[in-house]
Structure 1
């Protein structure tokens, strides 16, 4: 065998080896499992009255998959949650719900806003992940979660 023949054989072997390695690369439909999800909506009340302009954050608990979600209440206290990954529905599982008034803080470490523009006061504990008593469990097709808050515990 000549040097040229050996060179061509080595080049072909290297090319085939590279193609074999590349064949294993890429995404697979089974790589990211599809989450079981449900639509979540409800009414938030404070002392029995609708709570307008409240910002809700759904924080996954107990190994609940996904990124959680958010919602804002309308003037009747109604909300429709959306997931943090851009989906319209939240993953099935348990969530702690944090509630603040007005727009969410830009800084995640900022304290929650206890007073809305309309003068409604909300106990700061509802917006604190260490103190909020609001926990919901979402089941398939059971997406109504009304939240009853009290101004005094």
Structure 2
């Protein structure tokens, strides 16, 4: 290849390389802890998802947690497993947590039903389990205190 063609191609590659680092700035992620209550009582072993309402962010910015016996949770953002959630508006989805390891591969649905029947403060009302139907909206701010999520039947 002649130098007449190589030099412009070289300059083009340098420009392209320098522009590739100019992507969008990552959103601010802040620590988030909270509690989930159903009819005023703790909701243990529930999956909590904070889904950002920003259309420019993908699913990797959804933050999740599983509540403990007191309904308390600490969010982890799917992006690089960073602790917390991005600053801004979120739709909150509450569902049953994944089954314990010993029940994940069972075909005995009665055993699963017995496990779920033992969970306190159930069932979780269906609208809270859908990103399109959940009425739960939370704004996360820098310096956020505890988030209290209250569900009703």
TM-score by length of 1: 0.74
| Mapping 1:18-37, distance limit 5 Å | 18-26=9-17, 27-28=20-21, 30-37=22-29
1:149 and 1:121, CA in 2 relative to 1: closer, same or farther beyond 3 A?
same
Equivalent in 12, 17, 25 of residue 8 of structure 2 = 17
What is the CA distance between 1:49 and its match in structure 2?
1.7
Look up the match of 1:116. Answer: 116
What is the CA distance between 1:117 and its match in structure 2?
5.1
Moved over 4 A (4+): 62-66
Distance 2:36 2:144 in 1: 17
Distance 1:83 1:64 in 2: 16
What is the CA distance between 1:63 and its match in structure 2?
4.8
1:62 and 1:16, CA in 2 relative to 1: closer, same or farther beyond 3 A?
closer
CA-based RMSD: 2.3
Look up the match of 1:145. Answer: 147
Look up the match of 2:107. Answer: none
Distance 1:64 1:93 in 2: 12
Distance 1:89 1:44 in 2: 16
In the alignment, structure 1 segments of 5+ residues that lack a partner are: 1-9, 105-114
What is the CA distance between 1:36 and its match in structure 2?
2.1
Per-residue CA deviation, residues 102-140 of structure 1 (Å, 9 max, x unaligned), is: 229xxxxxxxxxx93524211111102232111101111
Query: Comparing both structures, which one devotes a greater share of its residues to helix?
Result: 2
In the alignment, structure 2 segments of 5+ residues that lack a partner are: 100-114
What is the CA distance between 1:12 and its match in structure 2?
1.2
What is the CA distance between 1:15 and its match in structure 2?
1.5
What is the CA distance between 1:64 and its match in structure 2?
7.5
Distance 1:16 1:64 in 2: 37
1:38 and 1:64, CA in 2 relative to 1: closer, same or farther beyond 3 A?
farther
Q: Which has the higher contact order (CA 8 A, sep 6+)?
A: 2
Look up the match of 1:89. Answer: 84
Per-residue CA deviation, residues 38-57 of structure 1 (Å, 9 max, x unaligned), is: 21110111122211110011
Look up the match of 1:103. Answer: 98
**Do structure 1's residue 59 and structure 2's residue 51 form an aligned pair?**
yes
